[in-house]
Structure 1
Amino acid sequence: MSKLFLPILLVVGFGIWKVLDHLQLPNTFSILLILLTALSGILWCYHRFSVIPRRKRQIARTEQRTGHELSAEEKAKIEPIGEGEEFIASLFPVLAFVLILRSFLFEPFQIPSQSMEPTLLVGDFIVVEKYAYGIKDPVFQNTIIQTGKVKRGDVVVFKAPPAPNIDYIKRVIGIGGDRILYNELERKLTVVYGNNGKPCEENCTVKEFTYSTPQANDKFKAIMGRNPDGSFIYGPSMLELTETGDVSHKIHWYPEPISEGFRYKDYAKQEYYVTEWVVPADHYFMMGDNRNMSEDSRFWGFVPEKNIVGKASYIWLSLDKKPNQWPTGIRTERLFTKIQ
């Protein structure tokens, strides 16, 4: 039975993972990691405080009875420990370390799409600070200790409201109480700051975002569709410019404005090319830096506080690649750069 322990555990673990994945729970990996850590911890404690002391006593009694010291092979035959159980128990310190590190301190994240270009590129591997906005329990994501607040302009990883089992990464444009105005024709943002989670009615602080002169960047092409084989069809070069609001950073536009107002949801009102959203308390309005190639709060609404995973802080590895293609090298100039 001991020889079958590890294969049975792998089959059971795979089954649990498929069930959790089917349920589309927001923290499937965390749940599996907790279960595996708990199992290995129970086995580790059982071996450390029960099996190993009992085995030592049995070996000592045998040596006393026979009058000579047992060899390693003879000792192995006394109260033998199954290889599978011993292996799982030996993983406990490592799993416990990973669980604590990933749940409360840092989590790795890979950039999967072009929605945050040019700030973040496909192939970038980043570090997410889990503790930046609060220490949360790894399953239900309830805040245990408050350590900070999400700020306008932060680049944040969060659970996507339309698919809570998927992590998104976007930039925070507005917080609770803010009124967001987006002019599609001019492609400009204006934020009317709220007061303590409520919309401002008078003497309001208004932040009108400013923009530098757009310049074509031939390194980045607009995706216009897909070929029958699944590869992307690329169009004209994206326009690159600097947007200055609560922070200053580069963004991308299509060469020509595109009207997508008919797809916008959860807006308070829409007049011509200007759409206005009012952010509810304890929610956030997110947008990608690649403005015409980002599914964000314009399309699926606001992100609740509970969905926030952490703050994107550094790029620790950057593979030179395009979507759905193998890497061709490493972008050394992007290694260990801070995300602005």
Structure 2
Amino acid sequence: MSKSNLFFILLIVAGYAVWKLLDHLALPNTFTILLILLTALCGALWCYHRFVVLPKRARQILRAEKRTGKTLSDEEKNQIEPISEGGEFLASLFPVLAFVLILRSFIFEPFQIPSGSMEPTLRVGDFLLVEKYAYGIKDPVFQNTIIETGKQQRGDIIVFKAPPEPSIDYIKRIVGVPGDRIQYNEADRRITLTYAKDGKECSVDCVTKTFSYSEPQADEEFNIIIGQDRSGKPIYSAEHPLKLIERGDVEHEIHWDPLPPNATYMYQDYVSQQNYITEWVVPEGEYFVMGDNRNHSADSRFWGFVPEKNIVGKASYIWLSLDKKQNEWPTGIRFDRLFSKIH
């Protein structure tokens, strides 16, 4: 076995071991950490080759040509200070990895919709571009804001590290910002929002808005999931969800089940709850999010608020949409959704 082949095998084994270690620790940025480590390794090799190996090799070749009095062929040059194939290959990856790291860490990050919690706005099989710079430039590991570029707004669709599972990315819509009081009526599924003042809960001269809703209509493009089979594939009922327009801080489509289920017993972090009405007050530096598929979304109602530090970025565009259902293979492409802006 050649040294270069052995080097690659050892590199793969080491990479896999680091991946499993980070996965076991359930860190929120496993892929980014691995990308940084690999970029640093390739960068060190690139610098070593660029500023040490290649200049030394050039000097040795020049001396050999002066000594022999002739120009060496490429084959003869390759015999002088030969460069490791494995090291040279890794060094050549550095510019590409550095570009990907910068792009993914500070500009755009790809995201795939894994479930139906944001239907009908976003569908299973949608591939999104997430603007990493929308709310600030953050360091890629600890996610501390270096430069602030904007603030999260009510109605924004964000990708974030799930508070109950920080190693997993969720996508939801912001309903409340710090200081807002959110009231959710489980009986009629309407939202009432009392707006914050200067980021704090309002107590005097408050502005309160009850969201309005269009007449619900059966959405025959979708079926309601009622469970999963042994392989994990969803089991669909013959019923269709109801589609309607919610008019609050933004206007967008949502889904309701035909019959409103009572899930108030599972709600978390509320300040009051009675007669099917639950209220939350959003703490400073945190956000209240909900899925557009209101009866099939695990969101702030169930596990609490999203810290600002957990926010990855703002979902901006659908660049690809595969015609598929959850945990099933795609059957085509939804061309009408390609390169569409997310609202």
TM-score by length of 1: 0.99
User: What is the identity percentage for the equivalent residue pairs of Structure 1 and Structure 2?
Assistant: 67
Q: Report if aligned partners of 1:193, 1:204 keep a CA contact under 8 Å in 2.
A: yes
Match of residue 279 from structure 2? 276
Of 30, 35, 43, the residue aligned with 1:33 is 35
Partner of 2:218: 216
- 1:197 is displaced (CA, Å) by 2.3
Q: Tell me if 1:295 matches 2:298.
A: yes
- Paired with 1:233 and 1:36, the residues of 2 have a C-alpha distance of 42
Q: What residue number does 2:342 align with?
A: 339
2:191 — aligned with what?
189
Counterpart residue type for residue 278 of structure 1: V
Task: Give 1:119's aligned amino acid.
Answer: T
1:120 CA displacement: 0.2
Q: Secondary structure at the match of 2:235?
A: strand
Quick check: 1:6–1:85 contact (8 Å CA) kept in 2?
no
Which residue does 2:233 correspond to in 1?
Answer: 231
Separation in structure 2 between the aligned mates of residue 130 and residue 120 of structure 1, nearest angstrom: 19
Q: Which of 73, 76, 79 matches 1:74?
A: 76
Aligned to 1:177: 179
User: What pairs with 1:1-340 in structure 2 (closer than 5 Å)?
Assistant: 1-235=3-237, 236-340=239-343
Superposition deviation, residue 242 in structure 1: 0.2
d(CA) in 2 for partners of 1:52, 1:177:
60
User: Which one-letter code corresponds to 2:112 in the other structure?
Assistant: Q
Q: Distance in 1 between matches of 2:119 and 2:220?
A: 13
Letter in 1 for 2:261: I
In structure 2, list runs of 5 or more residues that go unmatched. Answer: none
Shift of 1:206: 0.9
When residues 229 and 308 of structure 1 are mapped into structure 2, their CA distance, relative to the original with a 3 A threshold, is closer
Amino acid at match of 2:192: T
1:222-275 CA distance string (max 9 Å, x none): 100122343321111000000000000000000101000000010101011000
Contact persistence 1:136–1:142 (CA under 8 A):
yes
Alpha-carbon contact 1:3-1:82 (below 8 Å) kept? no
Gaps of 5+ in 1: none
How far the C-alpha of 1:2 sits from its partner, in A, is 4.1
| Superposition TM-score, scaled by structure 2 size | 0.98
Q: Distance in 1 between matches of 2:269 and 2:102?
A: 37
Q: Single out whichever of 122-131 and 6-15 deviates more from structure 2.
A: 6-15
AA partner of residue 226 (structure 1): Q
Q: Take 2:230 and 2:110, find their aligned partners in 1: how far apart are those partners?
A: 33
SS in 2 for 1:240: strand
CA RMSD of aligned residues (A): 0.8
